[in-house]
Amino acid sequence: MVAARVGLLVFYLMGTYLLNRYLRGHHPTSTALPASPGGEPWMALVRVWGPTLWIFPGLLWIGLLDLSPLFVIVLSFLLPLCCLSLFMLFSGVFTSYGQSENRLALILMAGSILLFTTLILLAALIQPEISYAKFGLFCLSSVTPTTLSIWLLIIWAPAVVPMSDDVDAPLRVALTLVLGFFSSVPKTTWFVEDGKVSRRIDGNAGRGIGPGMLVTEPENVVVLKMGPRITRVAGPGAVLTQRGEVPFRVVDLRDQTRSSTVSAITRDGIEVRVPISSAFRIQRGSRQISLGAPWPYRAQRDVLQALFAEEVDPSGRSALDAHTAYPWEDLPIKLSAHKLEQAVSFYSLDQLYDGIVDAKAARVPRDPQYELLKTHRLVETSLGLSRDRQLGDRLCRQTIGKTVRRSVQQALAPRGFEIAGGGVGSPIEPVSRTITEQRVEAWKSRFITKVMDWQESIERKRAAALGKIRQEADSKMISGLIAEISKRLKDVDGAAKRELVAYHVLDRLIGMARSSEVRRMLPESALPALEKVFEKIERDADVGENP
């Protein structure tokens, strides 16, 4: 008998190890659905507590208790099962989230187990030969593996199930999700990765056990629906789904950027290609992005309004195009393109390359910038915008981009959008190359004319400056010469006066001619000729003094 017990104990330990190892590699699937209502909890029990082989600890007492083997076998099976029934009833795991018919079936089944176990215990205790001490140890050894499994499950379930802080009764929810998974009929668990929804645990959103779960990335929220009805916006983070709720669309809360090239017609009938971009996001209101926290958004209404802004173009090229909804993320760039076409139609091609340098001067009708500012105001009015005092940039495309951005923001703000940036890019160019060549030639001609006018103006200013310099030099030279000659002529007779005057005049002329600035304006022979005349006057003066 001892050898049988040792062999049974060895079988129990080896069986527990092998069964646990097998079950770890073979998870339950939702293919085999239970046939009767209320059977799901018991399938979970088989997967969770089955590996403990709860009947074998009690079988080791056969021959040690003063009871028949049938009593020992029945109690070895019923006592652990009674503990599990009490756990399911008092924890409310299955009765809280199961279907109504399952709750009734579970309560009736668990009550039947408890009643039947109580009757068997009473029948065993009234046996005259029973030893109450041995019977107590038998009961304790029979329920210990099951109790230990329940305790480990209570510790382990909340640690492995991701839940947000606002979940009520997190322990019950965690236990329900784990046991629902092991019941083979859980509700579906979804994960959002790279903006796409994927199933991690396949299940039944309507009939499955417990709540479903949706885990999103920090920058995403998911719109949930129940049948044809939108229920709510879930996320970011881990969210519990209710019966029948399934993901409908993923909405990215980060800043979005879209760009496009628009063909538009200018006021003078020239088709141009204009690059445009739009940066936008779901309305955040006063909320700010913070490190370690998910991306914020103002309200669920903004997400739903943005999502419902999807459009269908009934004029599609095919029947499929006519019924294809364009994503909400494309709406800002499409509306920007439409507003840009409307704005460009007010400008001439030359104005698109122009700009306002002086905002104050542009308000004067006679100023060349006045017409461009007037056009800016017309565009504001046509797009339904209020008057902007700071209207007018050094580049016209910047003003157009700001005006278009304001108009798009005004149109999309009620739909949950917040326009964060964007504008008109560069280059703006005509579609026809001929137009480009003609415009380049026209601009070149105007540029050359302006350059020539500028050079002529510079020459006039230079000539006027030189004339003024000469006039001042002549005046100073003559006044100085007259003063010096008058001083020396007081003591000189009539014949010598003429020579003295000529001598001083030539001396001043030679001094001026030796200057580098004056020399560039004189012929090369001017300075040698003056020097020869000066030498002749000196010789004549020497001859007159020494006859």
Residue 352's CATH number? 3.30.479.30
297 and 358 housed in the same domain: yes
152 and 74 housed in the same domain: yes
Residue 446 included in any domain? no
Give ∠ CA 219-224-228 in degrees, rounded to 5: 150
Q: How far apart are the first and last CA of the chain?
A: 173
Q: What are the contacts of 492-495 at 24+ separation with CB within 8 A?
A: 495/544
CA-CA-CA-CA torsion sign (508, 511, 514, 520): negative
Q: For residue 13, give the amino acid letter.
A: L
Q: Which of 252, 276, 307 is the last residue of a domain?
A: 252
For 192, the enclosing helix (H) or strand (E) is: strand 189-193
118 and 214 housed in the same domain: no
Residue 18 included in any domain? yes
293 and 239 housed in the same domain: no
Q: Residue 53 corresponds to which tokens in the numbers above?
A: 């082989």
Helix (H, G, I), strand (E, B) or coil at 201: strand
Residue 447 included in any domain? no
21 and 158 housed in the same domain: yes
Q: CB of 227 within 8 A of CB of 244? A: yes
Q: Which of 205, 229, 252 is the last residue of a domain?
A: 252
Widest distance between CA atoms in the chain: 183
Bridge partners of residue 220, in order along the sequence:
252
3-class secondary structure per residue, 465-487: HHHHHHHHHHHHHHHHHHHHHHH
The structure tokens 């080896």 sit at 14
pLDDT at 296: 92
Residue 109 included in any domain? yes
226 and 311 housed in the same domain: no
Q: Which of 252, 274, 299 is the last residue of a domain?
A: 252
Tens-digit pLDDT string for the chain (547 aa): 667 767 767 776 777 777 667 666 666 665 544 445 556 666 777 677 766 666 777 777 777 777 888 888 888 888 888 888 888 777 776 665 555 456 677 778 878 888 888 888 888 888 877 888 888 888 888 888 888 888 888 888 888 888 877 787 788 888 888 877 877 778 889 999 988 999 888 887 877 777 889 999 999 999 999 988 999 999 898 899 888 899 999 999 999 999 999 999 999 999 999 999 999 999 998 888 888 889 999 999 999 999 888 776 665 556 666 666 778 889 999 999 999 999 999 999 889 989 998 888 888 888 889 999 999 999 999 999 999 888 889 999 999 999 999 999 999 999 999 999 999 998 888 988 887 777 777 777 878 888 888 888 888 887 787 777 767 766 666 666 566 655 655 555 555 555 656 666 666 666 666 666 666 666 666 667 666 666 666 665 554 544 4
pTM value is 0.67
- CA distance linking residue 105 with residue 209, whole number of Å: 14
The structure tokens 């990765």 sit at 193
Of 19, 124, 10, nearest in space to 56 by CA: 10
157 and 248 housed in the same domain: no
pLDDT at 403: 95
- Residue 440's contacts (CB-CB under 8 Å, 6 or more residues apart) are none
Q: CB of 429 within 8 A of CB of 273? A: yes
Of 79, 87, 141, 147, nearest in space to 116 by CA: 79
Q: CB of 273 within 8 A of CB of 428? A: yes
303 and 364 housed in the same domain: yes
Sheet holding 220-226, edge to edge: 229-234, 220-226, 246-252
pLDDT at 50: 66
Residue 440 included in any domain? no
- CA distance linking residue 22 with residue 51, whole number of Å: 10
168 and 201 housed in the same domain: no
Q: For residue 279, give the amino acid letter.
A: A
How many structural domains comprise the chain?
Answer: 4
215 and 232 housed in the same domain: yes
**Torsion angles phi and psi, residue 23, rounded to 5:** -70, -30
Residue 454 included in any domain? no
Residue 455 included in any domain? no
Instruction: Give the length of the chain.
Output: 547
Q: CB of 279 within 8 A of CB of 340? A: no
- Residue 231's contacts (CB-CB under 8 Å, 6 or more residues apart) are 224, 225, 242, 245
269 and 232 housed in the same domain: no
Helix (H, G, I), strand (E, B) or coil at 13: helix
- Helix axes of 132-160 and 170-182: crossing angle, nearest 10 degrees: 100
What are the CA-CA distances from residue 106 to residues 95, 375, 540 (Å)? Answer: 8, 78, 148
Helix (H, G, I), strand (E, B) or coil at 46: helix
260 and 246 housed in the same domain: no
Q: Which domain holds residue 223?
A: 186-252
Residue 330 included in any domain? yes
Q: What are the contacts of 82-85 at 24+ separation with CB within 8 A?
A: 82/113, 82/114, 82/117, 83/143, 83/146, 83/147, 83/150, 84/45, 84/49, 84/146, 84/150, 85/109, 85/110, 85/113, 85/114
